[in-house]
């Protein structure tokens, strides 16, 4: 350094370098630093281009640089104004580089070639056991570069790696890093089989990629046009393979819009045979006000709220029209305080960290399911986690449409069965009609309700006082004036038959549905009626 100081005679420059290294020691330690210190080069002092480097005057200038683990000096020995090319010298080797690439320190590969060009640093049989686990099995020179053939101790992958990348620890096994597909180790059917259904050509296409979208040399972008496994439509716009893995969805319009964590928790509570409610709101408890809570259940005479928090509750996201992180966390605080003020104990307000839609993370992170109050209340060893994942990857919209197709033409009944609000079921059915999942029609639903009302009033009834049987409540009402001497409306007869309002008689008469009585009971009523008439 003293010799450099003598050559440079630029104390300020050296002090700047020393101070910069102190302030950025963590970056330098990481081995990812790339910086050329060009502030000692001559600059224009006036005019429109003030501060621009005068490259013609940089000849014989020494420049300090940091590239990965290399800290050294490089000398500018020439400049071509027409081509904007610098000629630089390093370790007595000269090479040309564009001045913009010189400023950006984009000469690391060349530096590595020069620095390590004299002899091989490793031998066949050597093991690299830092963060990588590699066994050197061959080596060769290629255009003044040293290359090593390695076998990965972890995945048994065999490939080649440059010596400079190996020494600087910038690269390891290209299979373990996801850049090369090894069938049975890191291909999609092995690591994320649920994604296979989204590929137009199924298994044969999916096996060409890792779940990050890399590994296929014929598609380096990792973009595909997936097919929806439910409605069979192909997306017009390409989507990143990794986004499918991260979201567990391709965002098709036939999606149920229920998140992976929510469906996971739903299935857990179902397996625990709890009577729970989703999206708790003021229709259940007025105190909920404008807020909704993911899950609510009662157990051993205590109330519980369970919230599954996605990544937006922990990190700032850039989703369109979404709340900021501060707004989201303030909303969470207000919701919790509201619940606590209305009878929910603090220890019964359960929040599960679901920032990543991966079952293992949701289960095992420090604020995951297995580390929550749920594991204190219930024996979660009995939960079938495979079933949870299958349910979480299912489409509840299609499930609603399948129930409609089975003949349940009532959004309320479908919603009760699926534990989803009836309004959401209607939205599902409308979408299902558009994508040919079902033939939902509001008219069909209304007609079904009317038919059931007609059927309910067409049930035969018997007057317990005289034993007369009528084919329906309406028929009984029409004949009441003639037979009983008084008009009796249908609603009154229905109230007695249905035992509503604790009514036993109407207008002094008792009626029963025939379907509610045994043959012996009907016979007994008629015999008593004949006996009363005889008296």
pLDDT digits (tens, 9 = 90+) for 219-233: 989 999 999 999 999
For residue 371, give the DSSP letter.
Answer: G
Reduced to 3 states, what is the DSSP secondary structure of residue 59?
A: coil
Separation CA 407–CA 519 (nearest Å) = 32
397 pLDDT more than 50:
yes
Of 406, 435, 455, which closes a domain?
A: 455
Establish if 243 belongs to a structural domain: yes
295 and 341 part of one domain: yes
Which distant-in-sequence residues (6+ apart) come within 8 Å of 370 by Cβ?
363, 364, 380
**Per the confidence metrics, is the pTM higher than 0.75?**
no
> Are 416 and 381 members of one domain?
no
Predicted confidence (pLDDT) at residue 9 exceeds the cutoff of 70: no
Is 206:188 a contact under the CB 8 Å cutoff? yes
pLDDT surpassing 60 at residue 5: no
Query: Looking at the predicted structure, is the pLDDT value of residue 508 above 90?
Result: no
Verify that 300 and 234 share a domain, yes or no: no
- Confirm whether 269 is domain-assigned: yes
Give the residue from 253, 261, 248 showing the smallest Cα distance to 294.
261
pLDDT score of 534: 64
Q: CA 525, CA 517: separation in Å to the nearest integer?
A: 10
140-162: average pLDDT: 87
**pLDDT digits 0-9 by tens, 303-356:** 999 999 999 999 988 777 788 999 999 999 999 999 999 999 999 999 999 999
Average pLDDT on 86-114 reads 84
CA pair distance 278, 275, nearest whole angstrom: 10
| 394 has a pLDDT exceeding 80 | yes
**241 and 304 inside one domain:** no
Return d(Cα 262, Cα 260) in angstroms, integer. Answer: 6
In a domain, 339, yes or no: yes
d(CA 203, CA 358) in angstroms, rounded, equals 22
CA–CA distance, 192 with 363 (Å, rounded to integer): 17
Is position 201 within any domain?
yes
Q: Alpha helix (H) ranges present in 213-259? A: 241-247
Residues in Cβ contact with 344 at an 8 Å cutoff, skipping those fewer than 6 apart:
303, 304, 305
Q: To the nearest whole percent, how much of the chain has pLDDT over 90?
A: 48
Instruction: For strands 511-513 and 158-162, give the pairing.
Output: unpaired
Residues 11 and 102 in one domain: yes
The CATH number given to whatever domain includes residue 462 is 1.10.10
The chain-wide mean pLDDT, for the chain, equals 87
Residue 385, domain extent: 260-392
Q: In the prediction, which pLDDT does 238 show?
A: 93
* Same domain assignment for residues 268 and 386: yes
For residue 353, what is the domain's CATH number?
3.40.960.10
Provide the number of structural domains found in the chain.
5
Q: Which residues of 205-230 are buried (b: 16+ CB within 10 A; e: fewer)?
A: bbbbbbbbbbbbeeeeebebebbbbb
Q: What does the pLDDT average to over 422-426?
A: 88
Residue 45 CB coordination number (10 Å): 8
Calculate mean pLDDT across residues 383-408.
92
Residue 380 lies in a domain: yes
Q: What pLDDT digit, counting tens, does each position of 50-82 carry?
A: 888 999 999 989 999 998 878 889 999 999 988
pLDDT value, residue 113: 63
φ/ψ of residue 308, rounded to 5: -110, 115
Q: Rounded to whole angstroms, how far apart are CA atoms 376 and 383?
A: 14
pLDDT at 240 over 90: yes
Q: Domain end: 196, 220, 247, which one?
A: 247
Assess whether 483 and 401 both reside in one domain. no
23 alpha-carbon distance from chain centroid: 38
Q: Give the whole-angstrom CA distance, residue 380 versus residue 405.
A: 35
Helix, strand and coil percent figures for the chain, each rounded to 5: 40, 20, 40
Q: Which residues does residue 48 pair with via DSSP β-bridges, in sequence order?
A: none
For the record, the structure tokens of 241 come out as 């393979």
Classify 140 as helix, strand or coil.
strand
Q: Is pLDDT of 452 > 80?
A: no
Q: pLDDT digit string (tens) for 402-418?
A: 999 998 988 888 988 99
Residues 264 and 387 in one domain: yes
Q: Does the pLDDT at position 358 exceed 50?
A: yes
Residue 174 lies in a domain: no
**pLDDT number for residue 459:** 84
The answer to whether residue 130 is domain-embedded is no
| Band of pLDDT at residue 114, cut at 50, 70 and 90 | low
Does one domain contain both 225 and 288? Answer: no
Same-domain check for residues 356 and 274:
yes
Look up residue 30 and give its two tokens. 């990481």
Give the pLDDT confidence of 362-387 residue by residue, as tens digits: 999 999 999 999 999 999 999 999 99
Q: Are residues 361 and 437 in the same domain?
A: no
- Rounded to an integer, the average pLDDT of 404-433 is 89
Q: For position 118, what pLDDT does the model report?
A: 56
Q: Which of 115, 141, 172 delimits the end of a domain?
A: 115
**pLDDT at res. 48:** 84
Tens of pLDDT, residues 182-196 = 999 999 999 999 999
As a whole number, mean pLDDT of residues 495-522 equals 81
**pLDDT at 265 (0 to 100):** 96
pLDDT of residue 1: 47
Question: Is 436 among the domain residues?
Answer: yes
* Strand 293-299 versus strand 511-513 pairing type: unpaired
Provide Rg for the chain, Cα atoms: 38
pLDDT at 427 over 50: yes
How far, in whole angstroms, is CA 38 from its chain's centroid? 45
Q: Are residues 350 and 371 in the same domain?
A: yes
- Per-residue confidence (pLDDT) for residue 456, from 0 to 100: 55
């Amino acid at each position: 350094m003293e010799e450099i100081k003598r050559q440079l005679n630029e104390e300020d420059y050296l002090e700047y370098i020393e101070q910069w290294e102190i302030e950025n020691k963590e970056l330098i330690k990481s081995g990812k630093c790339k910086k050329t210190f060009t502030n000692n080069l001559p600059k224009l002092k006036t005019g429109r281009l003030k501060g621009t480097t005068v490259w013609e005057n940089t000849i014989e200038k020494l420049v300090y640089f940091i590239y990965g683990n290399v800290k050294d000096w490089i000398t500018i020995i020439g400049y071509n104004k027409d081509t904007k090319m610098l000629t630089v010298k390093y370790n007595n080797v000269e090479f040309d580089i564009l001045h913009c690439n010189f400023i950006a320190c984009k000469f690391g590969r060349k530096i590595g070639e020069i620095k390590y060009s004299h002899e091989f640093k490793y031998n066949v049989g050597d093991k690299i056991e830092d963060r990588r686990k590699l066994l050197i099995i061959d080596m060769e020179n290629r255009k003044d570069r040293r290359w090593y053939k390695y076998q990965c101790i972890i995945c048994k992958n065999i490939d080649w790696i440059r010596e400079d990348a190996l020494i600087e620890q910038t690269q390891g096994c290209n299979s373990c890093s996801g850049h090369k597909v090894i069938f049975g180790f890191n291909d999609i059917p092995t690591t994320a089989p649920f994604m296979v259904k989204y590929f137009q050509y199924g298994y044969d296409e999916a096996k060409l990629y890792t779940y990050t979208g890399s590994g296929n040399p014929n598609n380096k972008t990792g973009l595909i046009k997936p097919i929806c496994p439910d409605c069979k439509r192909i997306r017009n716009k390409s989507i990143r393979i990794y986004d499918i893995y991260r979201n567990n969805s391709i965002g098709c319009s036939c999606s149920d819009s229920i998140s992976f964590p929510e469906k996971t928790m739903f299935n857990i509570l179902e397996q625990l045979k709890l009577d729970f409610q989703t999206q708790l709101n003021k229709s259940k408890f007025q105190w909920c006000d404008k807020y909704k809570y993911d899950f609510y259940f009662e157990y051993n005479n205590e109330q519980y709220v369970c919230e599954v928090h996605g990544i937006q509750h922990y990190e700032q996201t850039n989703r369109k029209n979404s709340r900021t992180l501060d707004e989201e966390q303030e909303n969470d605080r207000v919701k919790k305080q509201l619940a606590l003020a209305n009878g929910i104990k603090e220890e019964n307000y359960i929040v599960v960290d679901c920032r990543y839609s991966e079952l293992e993370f949701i289960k095992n992170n420090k604020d995951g399911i297995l580390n929550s109050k749920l594991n204190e209340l219930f024996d979660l060893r009995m939960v079938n986690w495979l079933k949870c994942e299958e349910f979480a990857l299912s489409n509840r919209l299609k499930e609603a449409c399948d129930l409609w197709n089975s003949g349940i033409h009532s959004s309320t009944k479908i919603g009760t069965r699926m534990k989803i609000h009836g309004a959401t079921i209607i939205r599902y059915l409308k979408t299902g009609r558009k994508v040919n999942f079902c033939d939902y029609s509001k008219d069909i639903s209304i007609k079904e309700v009317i038919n059931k009302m007609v059927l309910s009033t067409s049930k035969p009834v018997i007057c317990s006082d005289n034993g007369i049987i009528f084919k329906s409540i309406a028929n009984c009402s029409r004949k009441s004036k003639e037979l009983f001497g008084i008009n009796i409306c249908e609603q009154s007869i229905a109230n007695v038959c249905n035992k509503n309002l604790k009514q036993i008689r109407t207008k002094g008469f008792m009626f029963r549905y025939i379907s509610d009585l045994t043959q012996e009971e009907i016979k007994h009523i008629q015999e008593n009626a004949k006996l009363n008439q005889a008296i």
